[in-house]
Each structure stands twice: as C-alpha cells, then as structure tokens.
C-alpha cells in the first residue's frame, strides 16, 4: 500500500501550442506516461487563465488521460465513440500492473486485483468483466450496470468470484485518477490541504540548494502536490494574473532544469525532468 499520495497539477493550456488534435493527443500521451512511470496518484487539470472559458480544452485533456489510464479491455464499455478520441490509437500503453496482459482464467491467482466493469445483475450478485474469457461474479451485491470497479479475486473455479476492493489496497502502483478543477491553483491548494506543495519555475531556487530541507518535508508528508506552468506562461506569471503570490501558496518553488538551453521548457518536458530529479532526491525518503 502506498503511504504517500502524490498529485501533479497541469495547466489547461498545456496543449495550446499544438493546434491539431493528433499532436494534442500525442502530447497528452507523454504526460500520462510520465505520470505512470513516476507513480503519480492524481493528475489535476487546472485553469491557468481565469479570464477565458477553458472548459473544452480541460475536458479534452481529462478525457484522453482517463482513456489512457483505463485498461484496454474496458475501454469499449466505458467510452463512447467520439471525435475527441479519433487519434487515441497513438496513445502509448501504460503497461502498469492494473493493465495486465494475461487474458486467461488459468493465469489468475487468489488475491489478485483487477479492474472491471459491471455488466448485468444476476440472482447471486453482479456479473463483471475483468478481462478474461469468462465474466466474474461479485457475490451478494447488485451494482449499477456500466460501473468501473476494482475487485479482488477470492475464488477460481467454474465461476470466478471476486469482491469489491479499493485501489489503495493493491500493493503495486494502480494508476492515476484525473480531476478537473475550475478554481485557481491557489484555491486548489487551499481546498485540498496538501501537506507539501512544490511549484516548478525557472525563477525558483535550484533544486540542489533546497534538497535537504525538501527531503525532510517530503519524509513526513502524506499528500504532495507538484505544480507546473504553461507553455507560454510560468507559474509566477499565472499566479500574478490570478491575483495571488506563488511563494505564499507553495512550500518550495524550485528550478529542476538549471542552465536550460532553450528560452522555454514545455510542460511535458518540465514534468519528465522534474519527476526524474525528485525521484532521485525524494522518493528514497
């Protein structure tokens, strides 16, 4: 069971510099892969320009990230055909533990966790698709049809029986959830009450200069937020535009790409660079 919950906040305008849906989809694929590689539990999509309506872009980002996180054998049941998913085939597979490759009952073990979708109510309970050749049964529970569930294998026989479980029960990394927020980053930080908030900025302190203090905070924190800026505006500019002080909101504002050779670092690039650095410095804490 993972003790820490690590969230990342990405701005809605992360895809603003890519006009075509195919390129937007590819960029979101990089973000989803980075989140999974570094065991991120939650991706928060936040508005970085409160003066305009970013609902459409936010919904697209959340849809693609959610589709990517969903095991392939559940996608047809959980996602309708829609134009926004026309290039979903280029999204890279996550290959996380909750995206199993085995599709045979004989590969199942008692105590395994699987993601499933409820298909129909039965006298004994609810039938659920868990990605093998036979539907499993959740005993003595009648659940709404079309609901995604996490289950634990409790019996393997003529009928595979499972029980409802929480994704937090799995000992392995079990993917991320996606949250859409319509509040400013300041309000998100205040409402969710994170134990540790780290903002990334080229104007922040060099990561090596604050590594010791950051490590100490990281050790005791249970909920952590890593916030990232947009392709055309960094977090300091976003904060100024929204009327709050980034230094007051974040516990640390850090530069994880010192001596950058480009004028700007794209959000997906900053995400991979920052999580790589923090993985070395902090995830051992």
Q: Provide the pLDDT for residue 17.
A: 81
Q: Provide the pLDDT for residue 1.
A: 43
Task: Spell out the domain ranges in the chain.
Answer: 5-95+177-281, 105-166
- The conformation of residue 35, written as its DSSP 8-state character, comes to H
How is residue 119 written in tokens?
């298909």
The model's pLDDT over 90-116, given as tens digits with 9 standing for 90+, comes to 999 999 999 998 889 999 999 999 999
The model's pLDDT over 239-260, given as tens digits with 9 standing for 90+, comes to 999 999 999 999 999 999 988 8
* pLDDT bracket for residue 217 (50, 70, 90): very high
Domain 5-95+177-281, CATH class in plain words? alpha beta
What is the mean pLDDT of the segment spanning 202-209?
92
Integer Cα distance of 141 and 152 in angstroms = 14
What is the mean pLDDT of the segment spanning 124-131?
96
DSSP string, 141-207: ----TT-EEEEEEEE-SSS-EEEEE-GGG-SS----EEEE--S-HHHHHHHHT-SEEEEEEEEEEEH
Whether domain 105-166 has CATH 2.60.410.10 = no
What is the mean pLDDT of the segment spanning 142-154?
96
């Amino acid at each position: 069971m993972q003790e820490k919950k690590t969230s990342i906040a990405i701005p809605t305008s992360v895809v603003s510099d890519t006009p075509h849906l195919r390129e937007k989809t590819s960029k979101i694929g990089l973000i989803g892969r980075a989140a999974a590689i570094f065991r991120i539990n939650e991706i928060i999509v936040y508005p970085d320009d409160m003066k305009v309506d970013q609902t459409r872009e936010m919904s697209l980002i959340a849809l693609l990230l959610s589709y990517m996180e969903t095991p392939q054998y559940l996608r047809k049941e959980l996602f309708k055909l829609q134009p926004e998913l026309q290039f979903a085939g280029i999204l890279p597979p996550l290959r996380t533990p909750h995206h199993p490759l085995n599709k045979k009952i004989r590969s199942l073990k008692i105590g395994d966790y699987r993601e499933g979708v409820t298909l129909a109510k039965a006298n004994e309970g609810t039938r659920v698709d868990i990605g093998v050749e036979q539907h499993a049964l959740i005993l003595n529970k009648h659940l709404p049809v079309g609901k995604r569930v996490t289950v634990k294998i409790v019996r393997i026989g003529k009928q595979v029986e499972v029980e409802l479980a929480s994704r937090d029960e799995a000992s392995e990394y079990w993917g991320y959830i996606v949250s859409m927020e319509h509040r400013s980053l300041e309000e998100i930080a205040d409402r969710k009450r994170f134990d540790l908030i780290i903002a990334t900025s080229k104007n922040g302190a060099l990561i090596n200069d604050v590594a010791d203090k950051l490590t100490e905070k990281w050790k005791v924190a249970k909920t952590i937020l890593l916030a990232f800026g947009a392709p055309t505006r960094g977090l300091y500019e976003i904060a100024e535009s929204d009327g709050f002080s980034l230094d007051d909101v974040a516990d640390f504002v850090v530069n994880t790409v010192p001596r950058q050779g480009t004028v700007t670092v794209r959000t997906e690039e900053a995400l991979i660079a920052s999580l790589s650095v923090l993985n070395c410095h902090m995830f051992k804490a």
